[in-house]
Amino acid sequence: MFSIIIPLYNKAEYIVETIKSVLNQSFTDFEVIIVDDASTDGSLHLAEKIKDSRIRIFTKANEGVSAARNFGISKATRPILAFLDADDKWEPDYLKIVLQMIKTYPDAGIFATGYYMNNKEKTFLNHIPHFPQMGIIDYFKYSYRHGMSICITSAVCVKRSIALEMPMFRKGIKRGEDIDVWLRVCLKYPMVFYNEPLMAYRTDTPNSLSVNYTNALEEFPYHEWFSHATNNKYYRKYVVTTIYLFAKNAFLAKDYGTCYNNLIQIHNVEPMIKCHKRITLIFFSFFMNLLHRKKLKSCDSFTS
């Protein structure tokens, strides 16, 4: 039923626990496709020590997580693709619940569940108030209200037939490549959401991008989303919100040029809540960028 795709790169501390969370699933009709992206810390050796006929391990040259996931998709043989990062883990009934979602809503194309932070409190990160335990969801509406995508890769399953009809994860991108896929799928197919946490998400692991700003070249170019056609009234608001958050992260990382350029792109696109904050950020990023350039120019003059 499920092809579980695990991209692996230097997660020796976590990979065994991640694989065990799959093997301990109450629903057992699955294959596990582990794609080692040229790990250097012994991760591959630890994965190979776990013996189970459902596990298939592949190694490839290092090209990043998008290429690893796409490679895993190319090797998948089951009708449903389940994605799991090598430092996350599932609750024992994760696949069982997803199967219930598929049976209840067979015409949907993508299935997502809630998730929690992997800490002592188990903080529920994407709970949706007043939404039923399970149902068809407007991805753009609730992602906009949530302030970010309600989906996270390790808590998403997609029909394999969809992956064969459209491009999946863009290579060379380190952040946003996954929500680009969910967005494009949801433009064509209904999403089913299970409003309880069934996956534990780590944000404090080495090589984690969840808490580290990379740079503009490694972030998905979200402005491309404006080219997609849809009648969903929340779509453009969600796109604007995503670009705003990226600009805000760039500002906090003192990448003022990126912040300013992205804010200018969306400034006249769509009114949004708390507009005064966006305008204030434009103002500060513009002048901080000028100040940064003056400092660089002064340094160049001094060294010459």
pLDDT reported for residue 303: 38
Crossing angle of helices 235-252 and 256-266, in 10° steps, is: 160
CA separation for the pair 290, 285 (Å, rounded): 8
Under a CB-based contact definition with an 8 Å cutoff, are residues 237 and 270 in contact?
Answer: yes
**Residue for token digits 């660089």?**
296
Q: How far, CA to CA in Å, does 151 sit from each of 125, 205, 241, 250?
A: 10, 20, 15, 22
The structure's pTM equals 0.86
User: Quick one: pLDDT at residue 296?
Assistant: 39
pLDDT of residue 204: 62
Instruction: Please give the pLDDT value at position 245.
Output: 86
**Which residue, among 167, 185, 163, 181, has the nearest Cα to 220 in the 3D structure?**
181
CA-wise closest residue to 175 among 74, 83, 66, 34: 66
- Reading the block at residue 217, the tokens are 């070249």
Q: Provide the β-strand partners of residue 111.
A: 157, 192
pLDDT along the chain (304 residues), means of 10: 97 96 98 97 96 97 95 98 97 98 97 86 82 96 92 97 95 92 97 96 59 73 92 93 86 81 72 50 55 45 39
Judge whether 144 and 233 are in contact, CB under 8 Å. Answer: no
What is the greatest pairwise CA distance in the chain?
A: 70
Q: What is the per-residue pLDDT for 106?
A: 97
Taking CA atoms, 267 is separated from 45, 86, 144, 146, 200, in Å, by 50, 38, 17, 21, 36
Note the residue count of the chain: 304
Q: 156: which strand partners?
A: 112
